[in-house]
Structure 1
Amino acid sequence: MNDVRELTRRLVSIPSHESEADVGDFIEQWLREHTDATVTRDDAGTDEGRGGNVIAHKGTGDTSLALVGHHDVVPPDDSQVTPAGEYVVEERDGRLYGRGTADMKGAVAAAMCAFRDADPDGELVFASFVGEEVGGVGARCAIDQGFEPDYAVVGEGSTGYSEPGVTDVAVAHKGRRGSTITARGQSAHASEVAQGENAIYRATDAVDVVRDLEFPETTVLGHDLGGSVAVTEIDGGSAWNVIPERCEVTVDERTVPGERADLGQAETIDGVEWTVDQDLPPMACDDAAFADAVLDAATDAQDAQPEHVVKPHATDAGWLSQAGTECVICGVAEPGEAHTADESASLAVVERCYEIYRRVAESGLV
C-alpha cells in the first residue's frame, strides 16, 4: 500500500488554500489514468477559481455508495510554506506533516485508492468537493445538480475518539448556526440619558434571554448529542459621552439533528432584531444496519475495537444528510490535528482507512 502513502504525499504537496484547481486537476487525471470510471468535473466554485468538484462513478445497481472528501485546506502557517510558496511536506516517526495531511488529503488519497481497487456489486462513487472549509460550497453545488447517493462514508476525522489511535465510526455530528442580534436605540448626549434609548442596554437584555435558553439535545442510534448556545462577541457605542444607538451581539449555536434553540425569543426585546449569518446542518445516521456495516469494516481493518461515536464539528456530511443520503464519518484525522501549525497524519492510519473504505465498498451494501 505504498501507493496510498505516496499519493497522500503528492496531494499534500499541491497548495490548495487559495485555489483548489491544481489539486483538483491532479485528482481528475489520476482517476482517469488509474480507473475505468466515468469521471466528471462540475462548475462548483469556478467563479472563485476553485476548479469544481471531482466526481467518479463505477459499477451499476439499484444502490449507490459514495466515498466523500474535500481537497481544499485552510491557509497554512508560515512554517508550512517555503519562500517559493510551496507546501512543506515531511515524514517523521511514521507521520506525514504538512497542511492538509489530516484535514483531509490523507483520507482523500485512501478513498481514491479504495475506489480504484474495490469490486462492488452496485454503484460506487468517489467525490472530492471544493470549498468545504468555507461553508460547503462544493457539496451544496453537487446536491443542487442531483448528487444524492443512497449511502456515504465521509472521510473526515474519526480517529482517536473512543481510544487513542483507534479509527472509530461517527454516526452523528453537530451543526453550527452563527447569528447576530442587533439592538437599535436612540443616540443622545450621555449627560442627558433620558433623551436617548441605550442600544447596549437593549442588547444586554437580549443576552439575558439567550443565557436562559435550554441547550438542544437528541439521541442518535443510542448516542447522546448535546448542542450549545454562546454569546461570543459584542460591539456597540461610538464615544464615551454618547448614548449608543446601535449594538451587535454575535451568537454561536451548536445545533443537533431535529432540535434548535429558540433564539427568536431575543426579538421580544424592543428594538432587537435577530438574523442568521451561517447555518451548517448537523448530521445523523438513521440506518443502523449501514452504521454497523461500516463499524464491522473498521473492526476488521485494525487490531483495536472501534466504536460508534459522535463528533462536535460540522462537515459536508451535514449537507448530504439533509439531502437524504445516509452518512457516517470515518477518517484519518485525530482530535486537535486539523488546522494546526504542525498538522500531521499517521501513515498507518491512512493505510487503515484505505482498508476500511475498500471493505465497505465490497461489503454487499451496493
Structure 2
Amino acid sequence: MSADLPTDVTRLTQALIRCPSVTPAEGGALTLLENVLTELGFVCHRLTFSEPGTPDIENLYARIGSSGPNLCFAGHTDVVPPGEEDAWSVPPFAGEIRDGILFGRGAVDMKGAIACFVSAAAAYLAQSDTQRRGAISLLITGDEEGPAINGTVKVLDWLKQQGEQIDACIVGEPSNPRRIGDEIKVGRRGSLNGEIIVNGRQGHSAYPALADNPVPKLARIIDRLSVLPLDEGSERFERSNLEVTIISVPNTVTNVIPGQARAAFNVRFNDNWTRERLEDAIRSCCEASAAEVEADMRLTFSFSGDAFCTEPGPLLDTLVAAVRDVSGVTPALTTGGGTSDARFIKNACPVIEFGLVNATIHKVDEHVPVSDLSALTAIYTRFLERFFAAA
C-alpha cells in the first residue's frame, strides 16, 4: 500500500469505491481502511456481529490517543446496489474521474466522506504539537444501508462493555443540498414501518359470490390511512408524513380473486409523536376502516428510531466555526431528510452530521467533484484543530 494514500483524499476515495461493498458484503473496504489507519498509528478492532435471520456484518473501530475527550467519526462502507450497470456512464466500481468529477457507487454516500476524514486526521496528526490532548476514533459499519442490526448498535454495545467512551461524534452522511457548507444535520425525524394484511377467500373472478375479495377492502383501509391527519410540523422539525410504499397480492393471473392482499407503509415523524402514540393513532384508523368493510385485517409495526435533536453546544459551535473558516459560509442547522445511524449514537454522546452534497446519492452515476473532497477535508482538518485546541 502506498504510504501517501491516507493524505491523497482523491486516491483514497477511488480505492474505497473500487471495493464492491454492497450490503452485506465487506468487499475489501474495511480491510483497506484498517491498513490505512494502522499505518497512521490507530489501534484497530475488526468486529463481526450476528443475529438469527440476518447476515453477519463486519465492522471497524479504530482509535488513536489514550486520553479524553474521544472525538468519533462515524460512517459506513456498505453501499446500495448499483442497479443496471449498463445505465452508468462509467462502471460503478471503477472509481473513474472525468473532467474533475469522480464517479462511483459510494462516492457521496459515503466513502468520499470517510476518505476526507481519514485524510484530515492524517494532516492533523502530522502537526508538530507535542502536547496534543484527546483521542480520535472511527466507528465504521457495514450495515447502515441494510437492516442496521449487526452494525453501529452492536459496536456501541461492545464499546460500553470495553469501558470505551465516546464524548462527541460527527456522522459523515451527505448533509449538503447544493454546496459544501450549506447545512449541518442536528437531528432527524423518527421512522416507523407498518404492514397491513387483509385476508379474504380465493375464488374464480366469474363467481364473486363464492369468494371474498380482499383487494377493495385493503384499498379502503389504505385510502383512509393515506389522509390521516398527523401534524403541521414543530419548532425544530418539518411535518410528519405517512407514505404507502408497497401493495401486493399473490396473483399471477387475472381470473382469480386472491385470498390475501398486503400493503406496507413508512411514517417519518417529528417530536409531536412518540412511537406508542403514533402506533395507537394508526391502529385506530385502520381498525375503524376495517370494521366498515368487514375486513379480516392484521396490522404489524417495526421501529427504526424516535425523532431526536442535538442541542447547541461545543461540538456544534466548533463545526459551525470550522465551516465558516474554510468556506466563508455559515451553515443552516436542519433536521430534514431520512434517517441515519446518528439515531443510535445520540444515546451515547452528542452527535451531528456533516458530509458531502447529497444530490446524487443512490442514483445512477453517483458522483462527487474532486474539489468537494478537498473542501470537506479542509473543513474536517480545521474542525479537529479547533476541537482539540478547546479540549
Distance 2:29 2:87 in 1: 17
User: How far 1:28 sits from its partner (Å)?
Assistant: 0.4
Q: Which residue of 2 aligns with 1:252?
A: 266
> Shift in Å at residue 142 of structure 1?
1.0
State the Cα deviation string for residues 143-201 of structure 1 (Å, max 9, x = none): 23236623211001022x3x545442111223433321011234456566566544223
Residue 144 (str. 1) matches residue 157 (str. 2): yes
Match of residue 180 from structure 1: 195
Matched letter for residue 73 of structure 1: V
- Equivalent residue number for residue 132 of structure 1: 144
Distance 1:86 1:360, change over 3 A: closer
Query: Does the 8 A contact of 1:16 with 1:22 survive in 2?
Result: yes
**Does residue 263 in structure 1 map to residue 293 in structure 2?**
no
TM-aligned CA deviation for residue 57 of structure 1: 1.5
Q: Does 1:4 align with 2:9?
A: yes
CA contact (8 A) 1:293 1:360 kept: yes
Q: Distance in 1 between matches of 2:139 and 2:104?
A: 23
Shift of 1:98: 1.6
Q: Between Structure 1 and Structure 2, how many residues are aligned?
A: 356
CA distance in 1 between counterparts of 2:11 and 2:32 reads: 14
User: Cα–Cα, structure 1 residues 294 and 258, in superposed 2: closer, same or farther, change >3 Å?
Assistant: farther
Q: Secondary structure at the match of 2:145?
A: helix
**Per the alignment, do residues 308 and 31 of structure 1 end up closer, same or farther by CA in structure 2, a change over 3 Å counting?**
same
CA RMSD of aligned residues (A): 3.2
| Per-residue CA distance 1:191-217 (angstroms, 9 max, x = gap) | 665665442233133213312322356
Structure 2 unaligned blocks of 5 or more: 1-5, 126-131
Deviation larger for 184-193 or 169-178: 184-193
- Asked if the contact 1:17/1:74 (under 8 Å) is kept, the reply is yes
2:85 aligned with 1:70, yes or no? no
Matches of 1:113 and 1:2 in 2, distance apart?
5
Aligned to 2:223: 208
Tell me how far apart the structure 2 counterparts of residues 188 and 13 of structure 1 sit (CA, whole Å). Answer: 52
Report which stretch shifted further, 141-150 or 4-13. 141-150
Q: Is the 8 A contact 1:267 1:273 kept in 2?
A: no
Question: What pairs up with 1:12-23 in 2 under 5 angstroms?
Answer: 12-17=17-22, 19-23=25-29
Deviates more, 1:86-95 or 1:22-31: 86-95
Given that residues 202 and 272 in structure 1 are in contact (C-alpha distance below 8 angstroms), is that contact kept between their aligned partners in structure 2? Answer: no
**Matches of 2:192 and 2:10 in 1, distance apart?**
37
- Superposed CA deviations along residues 314-362 of structure 1, whole A, max 9, x for unmatched, are 11112222x3432111001x23311222111122222222232233333
Aligned residues with identical type, % of pairs? 24
State how 1:314-329 maps to structure 2 within 5 Å: 314-321=339-346, 323-329=347-353
Are 2:7 and 2:122, in contact at CA under 8 Å, matched by a contact in 1?
no
Checking the alignment, whether the CA contact within 8 Å between 1:295 and 1:307 is kept in structure 2 is no
Question: Which aligned segments of 4 or more residues in structure 1 are displaced greater than 6 angstroms?
Answer: 80-83
Aligned partner (choices 158, 164, 183) of residue 175 of structure 2: 158
Distance 1:297 1:234, change over 3 A: same
Q: Aligned partners of 1:79, 1:67: CA distance in 2, in Å?
A: 35
Separation of aligned partners in 2, 1:218 and 1:328? 21
Q: Is there any run of 5+ residues in structure 1 with no aligned partner, and where?
A: none
User: Within 1, Cα distance between the matches of 2:329 and 2:89?
Assistant: 38
How far did residue 23 of structure 1 move? 1.3
Note if 1:41 corresponds to 2:46.
yes
Q: Structure 1 residues 207 and 95 mapped into 2: Cα distance closer, same or farther (>3 Å)? A: same
Length-normalised TM-score, structure 2: 0.79
1:123 aligns with 2:135: yes
Q: Does 2:352 correspond to 1:346?
A: no
Q: Is the 8 A contact 1:199 1:245 kept in 2?
A: yes
Q: Which amino acid aligns with 1:125?
A: S
Partner of 1:100: 106
Output the amino acid matched with 2:360: E
**Alpha-carbon distance change, 5 to 189 in structure 1, aligned in 2, over 3 angstroms:** closer
SS at match of 1:134: coil
